[in-house]
Amino acid sequence: MSEPTQKEISIPWPGKSAIAVTLTIPPDTVERSGYGLLLGPGAGGDEKTALLTAVANEVARHGHFCARYRAKVPNLGFRVSLCTRVVEHLFHPATGVHPLKGCFLGGHSMGTRVAGTVAAQLAAKDPTSTTDTSSSAPAKKTAAKGKKATPSKKSASAAAAPSDFPPNYISGLIFFSYPLHTADNTKALRDQILYDIPSTTPTLFISGLKDTMCQPTLLAKVFKDMKASPREVVQVSDADHGLGFGSSKPAQGKKEALIDAISEWTMQFMDEAITIVSKKSQGDGYEVEDKAKTVKKSVAVTKKAELKKMADEWTVAVSTVA
Protein backbone atom coordinates (compact mmCIF):
# COMPACT_ATOMS: atom_id res chain seq x y z
CA MET A 1 0.00 0.00 0.00
CA SER A 2 1.31 3.42 -0.97
CA GLU A 3 2.19 5.80 1.84
CA PRO A 4 1.03 9.43 2.24
CA THR A 5 3.24 12.29 1.09
CA GLN A 6 4.56 14.83 3.60
CA LYS A 7 4.88 18.37 2.30
CA GLU A 8 6.30 21.35 4.20
CA ILE A 9 4.49 24.51 3.17
CA SER A 10 4.39 28.15 4.20
CA ILE A 11 1.03 29.90 4.34
CA PRO A 12 1.00 33.68 3.88
CA TRP A 13 -0.68 35.65 6.65
CA PRO A 14 -1.18 39.33 5.79
CA GLY A 15 0.45 41.59 8.34
CA LYS A 16 2.09 38.69 10.17
CA SER A 17 4.81 36.09 9.67
CA ALA A 18 4.04 33.19 7.34
CA ILE A 19 2.67 30.03 9.00
CA ALA A 20 4.69 26.82 8.81
CA VAL A 21 2.49 23.82 8.09
CA THR A 22 3.15 20.14 7.49
CA LEU A 23 0.60 18.85 4.99
CA THR A 24 0.03 15.11 4.76
CA ILE A 25 -1.42 14.20 1.37
CA PRO A 26 -3.29 10.93 0.70
CA PRO A 27 -1.59 8.42 -1.64
CA ASP A 28 -2.60 8.57 -5.30
CA THR A 29 -3.89 5.00 -4.99
CA VAL A 30 -6.54 6.05 -2.45
CA GLU A 31 -9.77 7.83 -3.35
CA ARG A 32 -9.96 11.33 -1.86
CA SER A 33 -12.78 11.66 0.65
CA GLY A 34 -13.39 15.39 0.38
CA TYR A 35 -12.70 15.77 4.10
CA GLY A 36 -9.65 16.76 6.11
CA LEU A 37 -8.23 17.19 9.59
CA LEU A 38 -6.30 20.15 10.99
CA LEU A 39 -4.23 19.45 14.11
CA GLY A 40 -2.77 22.00 16.50
CA PRO A 41 0.19 21.44 18.85
CA GLY A 42 0.36 21.87 22.60
CA ALA A 43 1.76 24.98 24.27
CA GLY A 44 5.31 24.04 23.21
CA GLY A 45 4.31 24.44 19.58
CA ASP A 46 5.75 21.19 18.20
CA GLU A 47 3.54 19.96 15.37
CA LYS A 48 5.79 16.96 14.65
CA THR A 49 5.30 14.94 17.82
CA ALA A 50 4.99 11.18 17.42
CA LEU A 51 1.26 11.31 18.22
CA LEU A 52 0.28 14.04 15.76
CA THR A 53 2.49 12.54 13.03
CA ALA A 54 0.99 9.06 13.46
CA VAL A 55 -2.57 10.40 13.38
CA ALA A 56 -1.83 12.46 10.27
CA ASN A 57 -0.46 9.42 8.42
CA GLU A 58 -3.37 7.17 9.43
CA VAL A 59 -5.93 9.76 8.37
CA ALA A 60 -4.21 10.32 5.01
CA ARG A 61 -4.07 6.57 4.30
CA HIS A 62 -7.86 6.66 4.31
CA GLY A 63 -8.13 9.48 1.79
CA HIS A 64 -8.29 12.52 4.07
CA PHE A 65 -5.93 15.49 3.94
CA CYS A 66 -4.27 16.31 7.25
CA ALA A 67 -2.43 19.51 8.14
CA ARG A 68 -0.42 20.29 11.27
CA TYR A 69 0.40 23.92 11.96
CA ARG A 70 3.32 25.27 13.96
CA ALA A 71 2.53 27.79 16.71
CA LYS A 72 5.27 28.88 19.10
CA VAL A 73 3.34 31.74 20.72
CA PRO A 74 1.36 30.30 23.68
CA ASN A 75 -1.50 32.78 23.35
CA LEU A 76 -5.00 31.43 22.74
CA GLY A 77 -6.32 34.38 20.74
CA PHE A 78 -3.26 34.42 18.49
CA ARG A 79 -3.50 30.70 17.84
CA VAL A 80 -7.23 30.87 17.11
CA SER A 81 -6.57 33.47 14.41
CA LEU A 82 -3.68 31.39 13.07
CA CYS A 83 -5.77 28.21 12.93
CA THR A 84 -8.61 30.01 11.18
CA ARG A 85 -6.18 31.36 8.60
CA VAL A 86 -4.84 27.85 7.89
CA VAL A 87 -8.35 26.40 7.43
CA GLU A 88 -9.32 29.26 5.13
CA HIS A 89 -6.17 29.07 2.99
CA LEU A 90 -5.92 25.29 2.67
CA PHE A 91 -9.40 23.83 2.94
CA HIS A 92 -12.03 26.50 2.24
CA PRO A 93 -14.63 24.79 0.00
CA ALA A 94 -14.54 27.55 -2.62
CA THR A 95 -11.15 29.24 -2.40
CA GLY A 96 -8.85 26.79 -0.63
CA VAL A 97 -5.73 25.27 -2.17
CA HIS A 98 -7.27 21.87 -1.41
CA PRO A 99 -11.01 22.64 -1.19
CA LEU A 100 -12.96 20.33 1.10
CA LYS A 101 -16.63 19.85 1.87
CA GLY A 102 -15.90 19.40 5.56
CA CYS A 103 -13.02 19.73 8.00
CA PHE A 104 -12.29 18.20 11.41
CA LEU A 105 -10.30 20.19 13.97
CA GLY A 106 -8.21 18.87 16.83
CA GLY A 107 -4.82 18.61 18.41
CA HIS A 108 -3.07 18.07 21.70
CA SER A 109 -3.55 20.11 24.89
CA MET A 110 -3.63 23.82 23.93
CA GLY A 111 -4.36 22.78 20.36
CA THR A 112 -7.70 21.38 21.54
CA ARG A 113 -8.70 24.69 23.11
CA VAL A 114 -7.93 26.38 19.81
CA ALA A 115 -9.98 23.84 17.85
CA GLY A 116 -13.02 24.20 20.09
CA THR A 117 -12.90 27.99 19.93
CA VAL A 118 -12.68 28.05 16.12
CA ALA A 119 -15.62 25.64 15.85
CA ALA A 120 -17.73 27.89 18.09
CA GLN A 121 -16.69 31.01 16.13
CA LEU A 122 -17.68 29.60 12.77
CA ALA A 123 -21.01 28.39 14.17
CA ALA A 124 -21.71 31.82 15.64
CA LYS A 125 -21.22 33.35 12.17
CA ASP A 126 -23.51 30.73 10.60
CA PRO A 127 -27.06 32.18 10.36
CA THR A 128 -28.54 28.65 10.36
CA SER A 129 -26.73 27.63 13.54
CA THR A 130 -28.74 26.93 16.68
CA THR A 131 -25.77 27.70 18.90
CA ASP A 132 -26.61 30.28 21.55
CA THR A 133 -23.90 30.54 24.16
CA SER A 134 -25.71 33.32 25.97
CA SER A 135 -28.56 30.98 26.91
CA SER A 136 -26.43 28.04 27.95
CA ALA A 137 -27.03 27.06 31.58
CA PRO A 138 -23.39 26.07 32.14
CA ALA A 139 -22.26 29.35 30.60
CA LYS A 140 -24.35 31.40 33.05
CA LYS A 141 -23.10 29.32 35.91
CA THR A 142 -19.48 29.88 34.92
CA ALA A 143 -19.95 33.61 34.39
CA ALA A 144 -21.70 34.04 37.72
CA LYS A 145 -18.82 32.44 39.56
CA GLY A 146 -16.32 34.69 37.83
CA LYS A 147 -14.34 31.79 36.41
CA LYS A 148 -11.37 32.38 34.17
CA ALA A 149 -13.34 30.76 31.35
CA THR A 150 -14.98 34.12 30.67
CA PRO A 151 -11.87 35.71 29.09
CA SER A 152 -11.62 32.69 26.79
CA LYS A 153 -15.16 33.33 25.62
CA LYS A 154 -14.33 36.98 24.95
CA SER A 155 -11.24 36.07 22.97
CA ALA A 156 -13.36 33.75 20.83
CA SER A 157 -15.74 36.53 19.84
CA ALA A 158 -12.95 39.06 19.39
CA ALA A 159 -10.88 37.06 16.92
CA ALA A 160 -11.83 37.40 13.28
CA ALA A 161 -13.32 34.37 11.52
CA PRO A 162 -14.53 33.99 7.93
CA SER A 163 -18.31 34.18 7.60
CA ASP A 164 -18.68 32.41 4.26
CA PHE A 165 -18.06 28.81 5.30
CA PRO A 166 -21.06 26.56 4.67
CA PRO A 167 -23.24 25.48 7.61
CA ASN A 168 -21.71 22.74 9.77
CA TYR A 169 -18.45 22.91 7.84
CA ILE A 170 -16.57 21.78 10.95
CA SER A 171 -17.37 18.08 10.80
CA GLY A 172 -16.09 17.16 14.25
CA LEU A 173 -13.59 17.86 17.03
CA ILE A 174 -10.82 15.55 18.22
CA PHE A 175 -9.26 16.39 21.58
CA PHE A 176 -6.09 14.70 22.79
CA SER A 177 -5.56 15.63 26.48
CA TYR A 178 -7.89 18.61 26.76
CA PRO A 179 -6.37 20.86 29.50
CA LEU A 180 -9.48 21.49 31.59
CA HIS A 181 -7.39 23.26 34.24
CA THR A 182 -3.76 23.90 35.14
CA ALA A 183 -1.81 21.34 37.11
CA ASP A 184 -1.88 23.49 40.26
CA ASN A 185 -5.39 24.98 40.11
CA THR A 186 -8.41 22.75 39.58
CA LYS A 187 -10.87 25.52 40.49
CA ALA A 188 -10.31 27.73 37.43
CA LEU A 189 -11.82 25.53 34.75
CA ARG A 190 -11.36 26.11 31.02
CA ASP A 191 -14.86 24.78 30.43
CA GLN A 192 -16.58 27.61 28.55
CA ILE A 193 -14.99 26.52 25.27
CA LEU A 194 -16.55 23.09 25.67
CA TYR A 195 -20.00 24.52 26.46
CA ASP A 196 -19.77 26.72 23.35
CA ILE A 197 -19.22 23.80 20.95
CA PRO A 198 -22.30 23.59 18.68
CA SER A 199 -24.84 20.86 19.39
CA THR A 200 -24.34 19.45 15.89
CA THR A 201 -20.57 18.95 16.23
CA PRO A 202 -19.40 15.39 17.06
CA THR A 203 -16.64 15.55 19.67
CA LEU A 204 -14.09 12.97 20.80
CA PHE A 205 -11.95 13.25 23.95
CA ILE A 206 -8.95 10.97 24.54
CA SER A 207 -7.12 11.52 27.81
CA GLY A 208 -5.14 9.76 30.51
CA LEU A 209 -6.50 9.06 33.97
CA LYS A 210 -3.22 10.40 35.40
CA ASP A 211 -3.44 13.66 33.47
CA THR A 212 -2.76 16.38 36.05
CA MET A 213 -4.44 18.96 33.81
CA CYS A 214 -7.76 17.14 33.44
CA GLN A 215 -9.12 15.59 36.60
CA PRO A 216 -11.53 12.80 35.53
CA THR A 217 -14.32 13.75 37.96
CA LEU A 218 -14.26 17.36 36.78
CA LEU A 219 -14.27 16.36 33.11
CA ALA A 220 -17.23 14.05 33.77
CA LYS A 221 -19.30 16.95 35.11
CA VAL A 222 -18.49 19.21 32.17
CA PHE A 223 -18.98 16.39 29.67
CA LYS A 224 -22.48 15.78 31.04
CA ASP A 225 -23.51 19.44 30.53
CA MET A 226 -22.06 19.91 27.04
CA LYS A 227 -24.37 20.37 24.04
CA ALA A 228 -22.14 18.75 21.40
CA SER A 229 -23.61 15.50 20.09
CA PRO A 230 -22.58 12.80 19.65
CA ARG A 231 -19.70 13.11 22.10
CA GLU A 232 -17.40 10.49 23.52
CA VAL A 233 -14.63 10.23 26.10
CA VAL A 234 -11.92 7.55 26.02
CA GLN A 235 -9.85 7.56 29.20
CA VAL A 236 -6.67 5.51 29.43
CA SER A 237 -5.52 4.12 32.76
CA ASP A 238 -2.05 5.22 33.93
CA ALA A 239 -1.54 7.60 30.97
CA ASP A 240 -0.38 11.15 31.70
CA HIS A 241 -1.00 14.50 29.96
CA GLY A 242 1.37 13.51 27.15
CA LEU A 243 -0.52 10.20 26.81
CA GLY A 244 2.59 8.40 27.99
CA PHE A 245 3.46 6.07 30.85
CA GLY A 246 6.90 7.22 31.98
CA SER A 247 10.45 7.25 30.65
CA SER A 248 11.45 3.59 30.97
CA LYS A 249 11.96 1.48 27.87
CA PRO A 250 8.86 -0.67 28.52
CA ALA A 251 6.84 2.53 29.07
CA GLN A 252 8.03 3.90 25.74
CA GLY A 253 6.93 0.73 23.99
CA LYS A 254 3.55 0.98 25.67
CA LYS A 255 3.19 4.59 24.50
CA GLU A 256 4.00 3.62 20.92
CA ALA A 257 1.27 0.98 21.03
CA LEU A 258 -1.18 3.52 22.46
CA ILE A 259 -0.34 6.02 19.72
CA ASP A 260 -1.19 3.38 17.11
CA ALA A 261 -4.50 2.71 18.86
CA ILE A 262 -5.31 6.43 19.13
CA SER A 263 -4.68 6.81 15.40
CA GLU A 264 -7.18 4.04 14.71
CA TRP A 265 -9.76 5.46 17.15
CA THR A 266 -9.42 8.85 15.48
CA MET A 267 -10.01 7.34 12.07
CA GLN A 268 -13.04 5.40 13.30
CA PHE A 269 -14.48 8.56 14.83
CA MET A 270 -14.02 10.49 11.59
CA ASP A 271 -15.57 7.70 9.52
CA GLU A 272 -18.56 7.60 11.85
CA ALA A 273 -19.11 11.36 11.65
CA ILE A 274 -18.73 11.42 7.86
CA THR A 275 -21.13 8.49 7.46
CA ILE A 276 -23.79 10.26 9.51
CA VAL A 277 -23.40 13.43 7.42
CA SER A 278 -23.61 11.42 4.19
CA LYS A 279 -26.76 9.64 5.33
CA LYS A 280 -28.41 12.90 6.27
CA SER A 281 -27.53 14.51 2.93
CA GLN A 282 -29.42 11.77 1.07
CA GLY A 283 -32.77 12.97 2.35
CA ASP A 284 -34.58 14.43 5.29
CA GLY A 285 -37.03 13.37 7.94
CA TYR A 286 -37.19 10.61 10.51
CA GLU A 287 -36.05 7.78 8.23
CA VAL A 288 -32.68 9.36 7.49
CA GLU A 289 -32.14 10.30 11.13
CA ASP A 290 -32.97 6.74 12.16
CA LYS A 291 -30.43 5.32 9.72
CA ALA A 292 -27.78 7.70 11.05
CA LYS A 293 -28.43 6.53 14.61
CA THR A 294 -28.12 2.91 13.50
CA VAL A 295 -24.77 3.56 11.83
CA LYS A 296 -23.55 5.51 14.87
CA LYS A 297 -24.54 2.72 17.24
CA SER A 298 -22.85 -0.02 15.20
CA VAL A 299 -19.58 1.89 14.97
CA ALA A 300 -19.60 2.59 18.72
CA VAL A 301 -20.11 -1.10 19.49
CA THR A 302 -17.21 -2.04 17.21
CA LYS A 303 -14.96 0.54 18.84
CA LYS A 304 -15.73 -0.73 22.35
CA ALA A 305 -15.09 -4.32 21.28
CA GLU A 306 -11.67 -3.37 19.95
CA LEU A 307 -10.89 -1.44 23.14
CA LYS A 308 -11.59 -4.55 25.22
CA LYS A 309 -9.13 -6.55 23.13
CA MET A 310 -6.39 -4.17 24.24
CA ALA A 311 -7.07 -4.58 27.96
CA ASP A 312 -3.85 -6.55 28.38
CA GLU A 313 -1.91 -3.44 27.33
CA TRP A 314 -3.87 -0.83 29.26
CA THR A 315 -7.30 -0.29 30.73
CA VAL A 316 -9.70 2.11 29.06
CA ALA A 317 -13.09 3.53 29.95
CA VAL A 318 -15.51 4.78 27.32
CA SER A 319 -18.40 7.20 27.89
CA THR A 320 -20.71 8.05 25.00
CA VAL A 321 -23.60 10.51 24.59
CA ALA A 322 -25.53 10.14 21.33
| All residues at 6 or more sequence positions from 243 whose CB lies less than 8 Å from its CB, including other chains | 51, 176, 177, 206, 207, 208, 236, 255, 258, 259, 262
What confidence score (pLDDT) does residue 195 get? 98
Residues with pLDDT less than 50, the chain: 130-137, 139-161, 284-312
What confidence score (pLDDT) does residue 314 get? 55
Written in H, E and C, the secondary structure of the chain is: CCCCEEEEEEEEECCEEEEEEEEEECCCCCCCCCEEEEEECCCCCCCCCHHHHHHHHHHHHCCCEEEEECCCCCCHHHHHHHHHHHHHHHHCCCCCCCCCCEEEEEEECHHHHHHHHHHHHHHHCCCCCCCCHHHCHHHHHHHHHCCCHHHHHHHHHHCCCCCCCCCCCEEEEEEECCCCCECCECCCCCCHHHHHCCCCCCEEEEEECCCCCCCHHHHHHHHHHCCCCCEEEEEECCCCCCCCCCCCHHHHHHHHHHHHHHHHHHHHHHHHHHHHHHHHHCCCCHHHHHHHHHHHHHHHHHHHHHHHHCCCCCCEEEEEEC
What confidence score (pLDDT) does residue 310 get? 46
What confidence score (pLDDT) does residue 138 get? 53
What confidence score (pLDDT) does residue 158 get? 37
What confidence score (pLDDT) does residue 320 get? 72
What confidence score (pLDDT) does residue 125 get? 75
pLDDT tens for residues 144-196?
444 444 444 444 433 444 558 998 899 999 999 999 999 999 999 999 999 99
What confidence score (pLDDT) does residue 311 get? 39
pTM: 0.83
